[in-house]
Amino acid sequence: MFEQLGLIGCGLMGGSFALALKRAGLVKRVVGYSKSPSTTERARQMGVIDIEAPSALLAVSGADIVLLAVPVAATEATLKAIRHLVTKDMLIMDVGSTKRDVIDSARRVLRDHIGSFVPCHPVAGKEVSGVENADPELYVGKQVIVTPIDRTAPTQLEHAVRVWEELGCQVLKMAPEEHDAAFAAVSHLPHLIAFALINGVAGQEHGQDYFSLAGPGFRDFTRIAASDPKMWRDILLANQHELLAQCRVFERSLHAMEALIESGDAEALEGLIGKASDARAQWRMGTKR
């Protein structure tokens, strides 16, 4: 049981964590801070937090657990704002979708207190953001990737794993590099393709007419294109290197199929579609490695 959660970023992910922690009886009080005072006030009105803090530093004051749930590009500034109150007994976690950039920021800013920081990425979320969409069920049954580094304190790592498990999550440990490479392939590239596909259709002369004819396949395929633009701008730029490598892989795969369509090679085209169909059928959501 924690005395006080210092929540920085009272949006979808942070708000959901606070609600889940409260519902599980794991925290006595939640002190929250967000960039806009109106967000923090709304979080208090909704019962997501108990006390509004006027700064990130004051949200951390007296906390034994801290969650950073801000856009990944805001991590370094947030850590700078709180570093004077960080102690070795405090558990600090984040929920950022990329890990190498977040860890680099934490190394630069926290220095001797880096051991308190356990980098986390809950593989949960929605394409809608904001505290209005916070949901205590968001994390139940989901995977959380933790990417400890050599200096992460074993006790804080243990605490972090236990907290997520108490919220009903399956915790998986990975190296930060391995995390960013994998999520470039299965999250960042698919979002990029969805954004580009929608823009491509919308930008055509008859694009709106085409949208009106689209069926459930198009709806499923493009659902993630409705995601928050600022959050995704940050993620795509933060994982630039791995994402561009996955773009090359995708381009090669697309060009191979384009070439078969151009040449009318029905047998080879069927072969590639069959390969994809088999791989998709074998893939099981949530399968552990």
Of 44, 86, 97, 144, the one binding ligand NAP (CB under 6 A) is 97
Q: How far is the CB of 41 from ligand NAP (least distance, A)?
A: 10
Number of Cα atoms under 13 Å in the Cβ half of residue 139 = 29
Of 33-41, 215-223, 241-249, 267-275: span binding ligand NAP (CB under 6 A): 33-41
**Among 4, 34, 239, 246, which residue sits at the site for ligand NAP (rule: CB under 6 A)?**
34
- By C-beta, is 15 or 115 nearer to ligand NAP? 15
Quick note: the x/- pattern for ligand NAP over 214-253, rule CB under 6 A, is --------------x--x---x------------------
Binding status of residue 105 toward ligand NAP by CB under 6 A: no
Q: Does 32 help bind ligand NAP (rule: CB under 6 A)? A: no
| β-strands 91-94, 65-68 pairing | parallel
What is the contact surface with ligand NAP in residues (CB under 6 A)?
8-14, 34-36, 39, 56, 69-72, 74, 77-78, 95-97, 122, 125-126, 129-130, 228, 231, 235
